[in-house]
């Protein structure tokens, strides 16, 4: 049996369509236009491309959006003042600081300066803590996207054994925390694995839903997967770089072999990746509704 492919591209397009309609409604009925600022420090090409993708999507959805680019030698104090300005700007509901920042700037100090109400990335300790106690307003975008992929593919999480490979603050821990909540689209029994886990295979083989965010090609091979499991591959690895700078994009899962055992699987590219920007837009619409008193 070959697994059915979960297309993140299709699910993301569906959510964006819903958001576009919601933004039109908010603008026409309540004069509320979701506002997003993306702050880019320096000229790193990868960061430029991520930020322009976010700006393009925000514009397509009818947001008010600002791209604020600062030179790489901006002082930490100047950057903190800039964030303070956007914290107090009523047209801005979401603030995104593109990482990484130059070495002379303390990233955490900058991220923690963002008003938690405008922290649409969901990385502020206030939002991380709220997620932990089941009062989360903004879930971090990649794990939130994974939950949406599961829900919209009809995967039952309640009572399922979920095994997460990886325990980073941006993927492994938050997706574990989201899926263990006493809530719809969650209620799972979650195990988190990492490089110090003993006999990782004994855990992954139990998984009804296996989520892999290790950052290593073939971290999960077919012998580690239960027949009929749902496999979500978060990894993005560039392999076989040519002298011209071209590389193949692969995930963390040995896709060709694992798809013969899984019931559902996400591809790389086209799986989790397209969901991340979409959930950033979702969080920004939510922030705008919250600021307008339309949502608690």
- Which residues are known catalytic residues? 54, 98, 121
- Answer for which of 14, 87, 189, 237 binds ligand NAP (CB under 6 A) is 237
Question: Which neighbouring-strand residues pair with 232?
Answer: 211
Q: Which is nearer to ligand NAP, 180 or 272 (CB)?
A: 272
- Answer for which of 136, 166, 174, 267 binds ligand NAP (CB under 6 A) is 166
Q: CA torsion sign, 150 to 212 to 16 to 296?
A: positive
> For residues 282 and 203, what is the distance between their CA atoms, to the nearest angstrom?
33
Residue 164 near ligand NAP by CB under 6 A: no
Residue 234 near ligand NAP by CB under 6 A: yes
Q: Which is nearer to ligand NAP, 276 or 284 (CB)?
A: 276
Q: In the complex, what is the shortest distance from the CB of residue 272 to ligand NAP, in angstroms, rounded to a whole number?
A: 4
Q: For 256-279, give one letter per residue: b (16+ CB within 10 A) or e.
A: eebbebbbbbbbbebbbbbbbbbb
Residue 213 near ligand NAP by CB under 6 A: yes
CB 250 within 8 A of CB 269: no
Cβ neighbours of 129 (radius 10 Å)? 12
Which residue's C-beta sits nearest to ligand NAP? 168
Site string for ligand NAP, 242-261 (x = CB under 6 A): --------------------
| Mode of pairing for the β-strands spanning 35-41 and 94-97 | parallel
For residue 100, cis peptide bond before it (omega within 30 degrees of 0): yes
**Binding piece for ligand NAP, criterion CB under 6 A, among 11-19, 35-43, 131-139, 234-242:** 234-242
Binding site for ligand NAP (CB under 6 A): 142, 165-168, 170-172, 193-196, 200, 213-216, 219, 234-237, 272-273, 276
């Amino acid at each position: 049996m070959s697994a059915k492919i979960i297309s993140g591209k299709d699910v993301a397009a569906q959510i964006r369509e819903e958001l576009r309609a919601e933004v039109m409604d908010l603008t026409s009925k309540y004069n509320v236009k979701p506002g997003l600022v993306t702050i880019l420090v320096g000229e790193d090409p990868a960061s430029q491309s991520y930020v322009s993708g976010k700006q393009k999507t925000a514009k397509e959805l009818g947001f008010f959006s600002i791209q604020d680019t600062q030179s790489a030698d901006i002082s930490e104090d100047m950057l903190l003042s800039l964030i303070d300005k956007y914290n107090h700007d009523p047209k801005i509901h979401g603030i995104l600081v593109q990482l990484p920042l130059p070495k002379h700037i303390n990233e955490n100090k900058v991220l923690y300066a963002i008003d938690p109400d405008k922290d649409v990335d969901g990385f502020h300790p206030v939002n991380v803590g709220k997620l932990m106690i089941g009062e989360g307003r903004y879930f971090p975008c990649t794990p939130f996207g994974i939950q949406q992929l599961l829900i919209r593919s009809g995967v039952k999480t309640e009572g399922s054994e979920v095994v997460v490979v990886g325990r980073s603050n941006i993927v492994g821990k938050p997706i574990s925390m989201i899926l263990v909540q006493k809530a719809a689209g969650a209620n799972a029994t979650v195990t988190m694995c990492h490089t110090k886990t003993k006999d990782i295979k004994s855990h992954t083989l139990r998984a009804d839903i296996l989520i892999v965010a290790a950052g290593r090609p073939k971290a999960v091979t077919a012998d580690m997967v239960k027949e009929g499991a749902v496999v979500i591959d978060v990894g993005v690895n560039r392999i076989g770089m040519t002298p011209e700078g071209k590389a193949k994009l692969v995930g963390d899962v040995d896709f060709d072999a694992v798809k013969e055992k899984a019931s559902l699987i996400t591809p790389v590219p086209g799986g989790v990746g397209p969901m991340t920007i979409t959930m950033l837009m979702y969080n920004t619409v939510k922030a705008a509704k919250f600021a307008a008193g339309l949502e608690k």
